[in-house]
Amino acid sequence: MADDDIDQGISLADAAEEVERLTIRINEARDAYYERDTTIISDAEYDELMHRLEAIERAYPQLQSQDSPTLTVGGRGETTLFAPVEHAERMLSLDNVFSADELAEWANRAQAAAGRAVHWLCELKIDGLAVNLRYEHGRLVSAATRGDGRVGEDVTENIRHIQSIPTRLAGSGHPPLVEVRGEVFFPVAAFDELNAKQAAAGEREFANPRNAASGSLRQKAEGKNAAQLELMRDRLGRLRMLVHGIGAWANPPVQAQSEIYELLSGWGLPTSSHARVLDSVAGVQEFVAYHGEHRHAVEHEIDGIVVKIDELALHDELGATSRAPRWAIAYKYPPEQVNTKLLDIVVSVGRTGRATPFAVMEPVRVAGSVVRQATLHNQDVVKAKGVLIGDTVVLRKAGDVIPEVLGPVVELRDGTERPFVMPQECPECGTTLRPMKAGDIDLRCPNARSCPAQVRGRVEHIGSRGALDIEALGEVSAAALTHPAVPAEPPLSTEAGLFELTVAELFPIEVVVRDVETGLPRLDDDGTPAYRAPFRRLRRRSGRDADPAFDPDSPEFRGDERHVPSKAAYELVANLEAAKTKPLWRILVALNIRHVGPVAARALADHFGSLEAIRAATDAELAEVEGVGPTIAESLREWFAIEWHLEIVERWAASGVQFATPGHPGPGAAAAAGGVLAGITVVATGSLEGYSREGAQEAIIAAGGKAASSVSKQTDFVAAGPGAGSKLAKAEALGIRVIDAAQFARLVTEGPAALDA
């Protein structure tokens, strides 16, 4: 990859500079329009500036200031100016903190300034659009966006379509003038539906609910046909609003902010049900942590928590700076969706030969960890997402774990981006890629026997937990054995020789050291790539690292030192030796037969007792095994028909690998029925005290039960420990009995009846 590939797009520093330029220019145009009733630039020009600013801020949210012009008009598409409305009282913004510590600091400072104990009103910070409602004698007379805080834009007509906002306040005793401040938002649940409609109508989809809210509120009826008007009303009807403050009412008959909410609620205005008054800073931090964990449990998007001092008397005492009150703060959660640069799209080949394109991105922190790669699945997905190499892309973590590229920020393209072209050849061995079956989207490398990526993948799979569970054979060793830097001829060209490995063969292996972060070879001081020999170590006769086991009479040393095989080398050979007699099903999984994973392998091994019996079985005999049908039968038959697969079996057998279960009565033997869990399906999730992940499964099977991997209606028990996630949630949703580790221990030893005893 050439350097200029990386230099595309816009750097953070350039972006910051441009944001400043754009902001000045837009504010000049606004001042002219709002204050002097003149225009200094055309609507089109204005729109262009706004779009550009929006685009940059979306890519670099940290550059968006509280009084950015986009916070008043955040949407896109319809950025032409709305009529100006002056707020009766200035709408301030809030200062931000970004960590629990900063929040505590602010609270302690505020409390010290107040000189007495205070109550904290905590509420969810809705990621929407700030709007000011002006009520005169209980009647809604205008609604305006925040604007620059002093003057906003008139959106009264559109606001009237939002059902939850009353045009006349309930109750009596309304002041001659009061401003009600709140947040207009698009409910998350309705958002996907909206985007589907947008797509169907040929309109652009919205990047997030907040843009949808802003875009919806800023639509204009003029020039729309009946269908478009319908769509516009539909969108406005889905908007919701929650209010959280008042303005321009000199002496409200209350002492606390929380009482204001009660008052507003009594008038028929929608207030949030999530606000809480707390009396300690620790409680505030707990509130912040709780909602950080349950961000998606609310109907709207949350970008943080707002903490206000509840006592109104203190609001007056503490006052405000020119932009923000001193009695409130916004805590911002780390973003779950960020933007970063798509540096390249690279294709990797897995153990099955499937060629998978993945995104290589500028490292970026999202939802608590640094991400630099994300899968793009296949060429169709790349096309569907519409990303180009060099694009700024939106990245999130699906289920808070798996990084996912959502799509490009089209506005930030500068013309140097280029489309991804799926390579015709395997990136590792050069063989022409092709679909395995007609109509398959996935391309595969057909060179299964000697494609380095596939051999490496298969060797790694053999060592994995679901197969032979060889501790010393992981990703790194698999790579070292199949293509080391030294020697030129790797110890393994296929997995056939795996069990013939000796310490002497491992000894000379050297691998290139790669940087954990970049994946590029690390260079020594002299500029040559650094090498590491994982299977040997230095033994010294004397000095600081003197080796007490050193035998000075050994003929192998040169001078003061010599190399000896490392512990890892002996361990790997010993692990392999031990693996030869592992249960037949593990050996079956290690053979890398398509569709034969741990579950199918267990069933086959139990039924047939030996690889030879499986091989000799007809399709009909295979299909007798539960969980085995025509596809697995065919897959087995195809596997045994390939010459080099048989060579694997022969050489492994010659090395002592056990392809039969000792004492097995032979094919068709009835599965050993019985056990306390016969006919019972159990799912284990989270960490169960006293059991490893594997151990829990073994315990279920040993008791004659079925250890399923996912929860369904067929599941009888879900054993859940700390850290249980979606499976526990699903069990609760389906009303399946959930048990803890202690109950699980009783279940697998005494059976289900013991639980109720």
**Cβ proximity to DNA, 254 vs 599, nearer residue:** 599
Q: Which is nearer to DNA, 24 or 402 (CB)?
A: 402
CB nearer DNA, residue 271 or residue 494: 494
| Closest approach of DNA to the CB of residue 493, in Å | 20
Burial 701-736 (b: 16+ CB within 10 A, else e): bebbbbbbeebeeebbbbbbbeebeebbebbeeeeb
Q: In this structure, how many other beta carbons lie within 10 angstroms of the beta carbon of residue 8? A: 20
Q: How far apart are CA 308 and CA 395, in angstroms?
A: 32
- 579 touches 459 (CB < 8 A): no
Catalytic one of 125, 308, 341, 385: 125
Find the radius of gyration of the CA atoms of the chain: 33
To DNA, the closest distance from the beta carbon of 369 in angstroms equals 2
Q: Measured from the CB of residue 400, what is the shortest distance to DNA in angstroms?
A: 8
Judge contact between 265 and 271, C-beta under 8 A: yes
Torsion angles phi and psi, residue 683, rounded to 5: -115, 130
Of residues 275 and 374, the one with the C-beta less far from DNA: 374
Write down the least CB distance from residue 584 to DNA, Å: 15
N-terminal to C-terminal alpha carbon distance within the chain = 67
Q: Which is nearer to DNA, 326 or 351 (CB)?
A: 351
Minimum Å gap between C-beta 376 and DNA is: 8
The C-alpha atoms of residue 227 and residue 427 are separated, in whole angstroms, by 51
Residues 605 and 738: their CA atoms lie apart, in Å, by 31
Output 402 or 642, the one with its CB closest to DNA.
402
Q: Which two tokens stand for residue 383?
A: 């096309």
Distance CA 63, CA 367 (A): 19
Rounded CA-CA distance 152/185 in Å is: 18
Q: Provide the residue type at 152 as one letter.
A: G
Q: Cα(50)–Cα(75) distance, rounded to whole angstroms?
A: 10
Which phi and psi (to 5°) does residue 733 adopt?
Answer: -65, -35
Residues in the site for DNA, rule: CB under 7 A?
Answer: 348, 350-352, 354, 356, 358, 368-375, 398-399, 401-403, 440, 457, 594-601, 623, 626-633, 681, 685-686, 706, 708-715, 723-727
Between residues 244 and 354, which has the closer beta carbon with respect to DNA? 354
Instruction: Work out how close the CB of 627 gets to DNA at its nearest, in angstroms, rounded to a whole number.
Output: 5
List the one residue out of 513, 508, 512 whose CA is nearest residue 487: 508
DSSP 7: T
Q: How far is the CB of 693 from DNA (least distance, A)?
A: 8
Instruction: Give Cβ neighbours of residue 610 (< 8 Å, ≥ 6 apart).
Output: 584, 659, 660, 661, 664
Question: Between residues 307 and 601, which has the closer beta carbon with respect to DNA?
Answer: 601
Beta-carbon neighbour count of residue 195 at 10 Å? 17
Query: C-beta of 388: minimal distance to DNA in Å?
Result: 18
- CA–CA dist 556, 563 (Å, integer): 8
Beta-sheet strand order (sheet of 717-720): 706-707, 681-685, 717-720, 737-739
Q: How far is the CB of 685 from DNA (least distance, A)?
A: 5
Residue 107 CA to residue 120 CA, distance in Å, equals 9
> What's the per-residue H, E or C state across 714-749?
CCCEEEECCCCCHHHHHHHHHCCEEECHHHHHHHHH
* Least distance to DNA, CB of residue 643, Å: 21
Q: Which is nearer to DNA, 581 or 631 (CB)?
A: 631
d(CA 351, CA 374): 18
CB of 279 to DNA, least distance (A): 33
Answer yes or no: 383 catalytic.
no
Region class of 368: left (phi > 0), else alpha (psi between -120 and 50), else beta: left
CA distance 305 to 316: 22
Q: Which is nearer to DNA, 395 or 533 (CB)?
A: 395
Q: Alpha helix (H) ranges present in 136-266?
A: 156-159, 188-200, 209-217, 226-238, 257-266
User: Minimum distance from CB of 464 to DNA (Å)?
Assistant: 10
Listing DSSP states for 507-566 in one string gives TT-BEE-B-TTT-SBPB-TTSSBPEE-TTEEEEESSSTTB-TT--TT-TT-BTTEEEEE-
Name the minimum Å distance from CB 31 to DNA.
Answer: 46
Judged by beta carbon, residue 542 or residue 726, the one nearer DNA is 726
Which C-beta is closer to DNA: that of 171 or that of 723?
A: 723
Coil, helix or strand for 109?
helix
Residue with tokens 């001042």: 31
Separation between Cα atoms, residue 270 and residue 272, nearest integer Å: 7
Nearer to DNA, 144 or 445 (CB): 445
Structure tokens at 318: 């503490």
Full strand arrangement of the beta sheet holding 178-185? 139-145, 129-136, 178-185, 240-247
Question: Phi and psi dihedrals of 429, rounded to 5?
Answer: -130, -5
Catalytically active residues are 125
